[in-house]
Chains A and B, each alone.
Chain A
C-alpha cells in the first residue's frame, strides 16, 4: 500500500515535444506529491510539487496534473529540451504518520532522453 507506481521506465522525446510521466498510488493518506529530477552523477533535486487540494500546478514548462479520485498524478514537460534529459522520480509523503512524515515514497524513476 506504500508503493508509488511510475511509468514509463524510459522515454525518448524529440526536442520541442511534450514529455509525459505518470504515477499512481494506493495510500489515501499521502498528501504531498513532489517530483525530483536527477542528472547523472548528481543527487536528486526537487522540481515541482503538489498537494491533493489542487488539480494542476504549473511552473514554467513543467506542469503536474493531479486526479484525486483516480489516485494518479502526472508530470508534463512542454517544449522538451535536450537539457531536460535526466531521470525523473515521482514521490509521495504523509504528514500525519509520525515518523513516516520524514519519509518519501519514491516511484522507480523514468529516464527521459530528449533528442535534437
Chain B
C-alpha cells in the first residue's frame, strides 16, 4: 500500500464546477509535489512545495490552485477546467530535495474527467 494517500480516486466535473483534490502523507517528508499524467505519457511536474512554501510553479494555468495547509497535506483546487485538463493527477513526496536520492513517493492518483 502506498504511503501517499490521494482522494478522491475518481472525479467527474463540469467546466463550471469547483472541486478539490487532496493528498496526505505521514512520512515526515518536507517536499510535496503535484504531477499531471496523460495516457501513455510520463508524469509532468505542476507544483512543488518545500517546507510548506511554493517552490516551483511550472507555468500552470491559474484554474489550478495549489495549497499546502501543513507539512502532511497538499490540496489542488480546481475551477473552470477545460476538457483537455482530463488526466491522472499524481501527488508525490520526498524527504527533501529529490536529487538526494532520486526517489519520489507517488500516490495512486486522482483520475479527473472534465465534461
Residues of A within 8 A of B (CB): 31-34, 41-46, 49, 89, 91, 93-96, 99-104, 106-109, 111
The answer to whether B106 touches A102, judged by C-beta atoms less than 8 angstroms apart, is: no
The answer to whether A93 touches B108, judged by C-beta atoms less than 8 angstroms apart, is: no
Known A102-B48, A102-B55; contact A93-B103, beta-carbon cutoff 8 A: no
Assess whether B99 is interfacial by the CB under 8 Å rule.
yes
Residues of B within 8 A of A (CB): 2, 4, 31, 33, 40-43, 45, 48, 50, 55-56, 90, 92, 94, 97-104, 106-109
Quick one: which of A33, A44, A96, A104 contacts B98, CB cutoff 8 A?
Answer: A104
- Residues of B within 8 Å of A95, CB to CB, are 97, 99-100
The answer to whether A102 touches B97, judged by C-beta atoms less than 8 angstroms apart, is: yes
Quick one: which of B48, B94, B101, B106 contacts A44, CB cutoff 8 A?
Answer: B106
Known A109-B40, A109-B41, A109-B42; contact A102-B108, beta-carbon cutoff 8 A: no
- Residues of B within 8 Å of A111, CB to CB, are 40
Q: Given A44-B106, A93-B98, A104-B104, output 11 extra A-B contacts at Cβ < 8 Å.
A: A34-B103, A43-B4, A44-B43, A46-B104, A93-B99, A99-B48, A102-B55, A102-B94, A103-B98, A104-B98, A111-B40
- Residues of A within 8 Å of B97, CB to CB, are 95, 101-102
